[in-house]
Structure 1
Amino acid sequence: MEQTLFKSLAITFSTVTMFAGIPLYGSSLRYAGPASLVWGWVVVSFFTWFVGFAMAEICSSFPTTGSLYFWAAHLAGPVWGPLASWCCAWLEIIGLISGIGTMAYSGSQALQMVILLCTGTNKGGGYFASPAVFLAMYVGFTLIWAVLNTFALRVIAFIDMISIWWQIIGGTALVVMLPLVSLSTKPSSYVFGHYELASEFTGITSMPYAVVLSLLISHFSLLGYDTAAHLTEETKGADKNGPIAILSSIGIVTLFGWAYILALTFSIQNFDYLFDVNNETGGAYVPAQILYDAFHGRYHNSIGALLFLIVIWGSFFFGGLSTITSAARVVYALSRDKGFPFSHIWRQIHPKHRVPANAVWLCAAICILLGLPILKIHVVFTAITSICTVGWVGGYGVPIFARLAMAQENFKPGPFYMGRASRPVCLVAFLWICYTCSVFLLPTLYPIELATFNYAPVALGVCLGVIMVWWLVDARKWFKGPVRNVDEGSQKV
């Protein structure tokens, strides 16, 4: 099915998800106060544009190859192409599958708040989901997405078109209405200039370290714009429309995401009360408490808060649906080239629905396994987002580094070409990717205990260690990259 620019943008925007980082809003706000959170979005957005421009240029050069995995093989040349595509594909898979988990967790959190407010709030005896029920919601969302991706591709195409309007219209309404409804708003000096450590809660006494952690919401929110690359084989005028979709998605999320953060922060009524475990939302979801305070304070009911929580929940539902689509495509592509264990199973196409159904269900199963610690560990979302970000952004880094390393005369530019600025932009982009991956491996709470331990470094270390040992011992002897799609002699390092 041929994709238009708008359809590509809609699917890409569904994956990016304007509200993606909102579950991190409360913790990011608490680390160093509102100013760090607000200005952090500006800083991260600025450097994300470097990554976006680097990826858009590569996408324009290779419009017929539908993944970072293929780009890496093209750019690294015949000698290093297999290793580059191996690393990139596995990083993509790790990032995308854990990305499904972040959407399932975020959707469960939003639904939990909807149920809590519908049944009387935390103060009024409302129902607050236990870890087991929360896990059931997490699993339920994952299974629904897998079923839709297996049997209802036409429905998914329709949902993707709804998604962009759902998020833009709903997000605009929230940004405009929330400060207007709030009984009071914080002064600009507070929002843009107030820094505050919460050492007694986070255990962090260093302001620079706290500021670095407060930026995690921004790093995580600005992910997923590579989805346009997965669609280039199906997109009309892909050498132009692919880059436009990538950069447009970054632009929309940059503006709307910052506006959303500002709307929430200006509308805070009582900073300390947001985190009180005895408040109406149990101190579990700061954006929900801000919405509740605003609408209940003005209208003495929580209907407005519920409607906007449903908007937020919908964005996570759309995002998870699109993310599992992308994840299955990459698993299928790597399996097709025999780079995945039991590849013959995962590269099979459903005879009726013509989708890689086995790959879809594999992604869903791994995502569910990632969520099992919900039953015992309180920082599961931090760990899953860390794994997601390191894998996803790390996948961006491989083709960008290959582009940086190759001889300039061997790069065949497409319509979107930065000329002499290309190499400096790629260098900044790659360094920013390295920094982003590093900060997501840091401890987020002190003292470090089992309940607060960020297990992302351990999980990633084990996964990447096994993958690289497999490469050194065996895979390097036979894995040649996406040989069906790559003309290995077309570009040389």
Structure 2
Amino acid sequence: MDSGEKRLNELGYKQELRREMTLFKTFAISFSTMTLFTGIIPLYGSSLLYAGPASLVWGWVVVSFFTWFVGLAMAEICSSFPTTGSLYFWAAHLASPKWGPFASWCCAWLETIGLIAGMGTQAYAGSQTLQSIILLCTGTNKDGGYFAPKWLFLCMYIGLTIIWAVLNTFALEVIAFIDIISMWWQVAGGLVIIIMLPLVALTTQSASYVFTHFEMSPKATGISSKPYAVILSFLVSQYSLYGYDSAAHLTEETKGADKAGPIAILSSINLGSFFQHSETSYDFSYLYDTSNETAGAFVPAQILYDAFHGRYHNSTGAIILLFVIWGSFFFGGLSVTTSAARVVYALSRDKGIPFSSIWRQLHPKHKVPSNAVWLCAAICIILGLPILKVNVVFTAITSICTIGWVGGYAVPIFARMVMAEQKFNAGPFYLGKASRPICLIAFLWICYTCSVFLLPTFYPISWDNFNYAPVALGVGLGLIMLWWLLDARKWFTGPVRNIDNENGKV
């Protein structure tokens, strides 16, 4: 019997999903979920405006350093608990019997919220990229190019979500194959942009400028505090380096998951941390100007347009590289959908979602949680509906995604940190005495990350620039906690065993 399946049976679950994934395929899906291009070129809000290039570059270094602590803590736990339920299953088993159900409940819903919002971030960013491609293919914002209105933008958002759901309804081997393409697409495309952009741009800055230049834009952002500006400029890196837990969601479908899962998690962080931001010489305020050639809607589009139009007097090169970036978001959204469906399936298997009997059903032929896939897609589409009226949807969805997704990491890591060492059944990847300090640093970093994504990103605060994440999360988590207090605590016990280890009966 496969070591991962053997450990799964010991934990009380029968093998239902097809265990056909290799380490490389699992790594490909995990790396694809991280979506490399969110880190190569600043995408989150006004990252460059806050504090200039140096803060972005060093922010990437700082965030990568602390992300390694989170990854190590999660890899150790994944090695011990190679299950599709992953984070919330870990939380239930690592916490005490008294607190296990509540820890599992909190973790499960944080993870679910984060993953479904993660689908929304990829759909939104992919729609932004496609919007810019259409604009540059028909001209520019200054000479009559077609800039997709909000209703068409929403249609593109919904279209991407539906395509991901359709693809995830097929066999997992199809998704794994696509994600292998995605991995090479992102690595090769990232290298092309990093190398080509400075070569094509007519003017570039020195290394000392990139690594030392600090420049604030208080007129554009309303922020005059240097420490606060630096904190906000780090958000793009914090948003970029997460999603590596996708390997854990696929452990019931991966061969030798107790070893392959931790390797895939750490390999994804390692490769993601390798790539740095690409900078050339720009007037930062012009990148966000709504009267520029790309309508100030998508910073990478203006950067690429300036570089290629400045040298070749056409935007063909910019359009090609924008298509490369769009492909990254497309593949990333496909992978996030895969992970979200697995978490919803696992939670439904444990009766933690209304109408669980529906969402836990597997496709009769492909053995994938197809109903869970379409539930996630439907909620993602609902999250995108405010696009028609609100201009800060991306910032809000990104904040919700990061807080939910990364916040879900904190629960099992904290439980692992405070539990008695002799009660931990270590897997092949074990940190030993280093486990507690690593978990402590990881937990504190996660708390900091979740806190800063609740901060206002522009001043003075108005309805047009307000960060809606605290309101949305407050309402959502408040309802979930109210459900727990009034009802769920009476019947939700965490992961439900579906196999009897003593007599081998299901």
TM-score over 0.5 for the alignment? yes
> 1:26, 1:187 → 2: CA distance?
25
> 1:276, 1:481 → 2: CA distance?
50
Confirm or deny: 8 A CA contact 1:66 1:232 kept in the other structure.
Answer: no
Q: Find the residue that maps to 2:428 and give its secondary structure.
A: coil
Letter in 2 for 1:40: G
> 1:144, 1:456 → 2: CA distance?
27
Shift in Å, 1:25: 5.1
The equivalent residue for 1:164 is 183
Pairing partner for 1:86 from 83, 105, 113? 105
The equivalent residue for 2:431 is 418
Q: Find the residue that maps to 1:467 and give its secondary structure.
A: helix
> 2:500, 2:265 → 1: CA distance?
25
The equivalent residue for 1:2 is 20
> 1:113, 1:446 → 2: CA distance?
27
Shift in Å, 1:151: 3.8
> 2:260, 2:172 → 1: CA distance?
22
Letter in 2 for 1:14: S
> 2:381, 2:79 → 1: CA distance?
36
Pairing partner for 1:408 from 421, 425, 429? 421
Letter in 2 for 1:427: L
Decide whether aligned partners of structure 1 residues 26 and 388 sit closer, same or farther in structure 2, where only a CA change above 3 A counts: closer
> 1:487, 1:245 → 2: CA distance?
30
Pairing partner for 2:321 from 285, 304, 308? 308
Decide whether aligned partners of structure 1 residues 32 and 485 sit closer, same or farther in structure 2, where only a CA change above 3 A counts: farther
Alignment of 1:2-401 (within 5 A): 2-21=20-39, 22=41, 24=43, 27-64=46-83, 66-151=85-170, 153-256=172-275, 258=276, 261=277, 263=278, 265=279, 267-401=280-414
> 2:175, 2:342 → 1: CA distance?
15
> 1:148, 1:172 → 2: CA distance?
28
> 1:122, 1:174 → 2: CA distance?
24
> 1:152, 1:374 → 2: CA distance?
32
Q: Find the residue that maps to 2:98 and give its secondary structure.
A: helix
Decide whether aligned partners of structure 1 residues 273 and 20 sit closer, same or farther in structure 2, where only a CA change above 3 A counts: closer
Percent of residue pairs identical: 75
> 1:221, 1:381 → 2: CA distance?
14
Letter in 2 for 1:469: L
2:454 counterpart of 1:436:
no
> 1:362, 1:234 → 2: CA distance?
21
> 2:284, 2:175 → 1: CA distance?
40
* Aligned residues: CA RMSD: 1.8
Gaps of 5+ in 2: 1-18, 502-506
Decide whether aligned partners of structure 1 residues 232 and 352 sit closer, same or farther in structure 2, where only a CA change above 3 A counts: closer
> 1:466, 1:94 → 2: CA distance?
13
> 1:462, 1:80 → 2: CA distance?
23
The equivalent residue for 1:449 is 462
Shift in Å, 1:152: 5.6
Shift in Å, 1:487: 9.6
Could you report, residue by residue, the CA deviation over 1:300-347 in whole angstroms, capped at 9, with x for unpaired residues? 221211111111100100111111111111111111211112222222
Confirm or deny: 8 A CA contact 2:84 2:343 kept in the other structure.
Answer: no
Number of equivalenced pairs: 483
Could you report, residue by residue, the CA deviation over 1:183-207 in whole angstroms, capped at 9, with x for unpaired residues? 1111223211121221111111211
Gaps of 5+ in 1: 489-493
The equivalent residue for 1:469 is 482
Q: Could you state the TM-score of these two structures normalised by the residue count of structure 1? A: 0.94
Q: Could you state the TM-score of these two structures normalised by the residue count of structure 2? A: 0.92
> 1:23, 1:387 → 2: CA distance?
19
Deviation larger for 466-475 or 219-228: 466-475
| Deviation >6 Å, runs of 4+ | 485-488
Deviation larger for 449-458 or 102-111: 449-458
Confirm or deny: 8 A CA contact 2:84 2:342 kept in the other structure.
Answer: no
Shift in Å, 1:377: 1.2
Letter in 2 for 1:340: I
Deviation larger for 322-331 or 235-244: 235-244
Q: Find the residue that maps to 2:99 and give its secondary structure.
A: helix
Decide whether aligned partners of structure 1 residues 470 and 269 sit closer, same or farther in structure 2, where only a CA change above 3 A counts: closer
Letter in 2 for 1:311: V
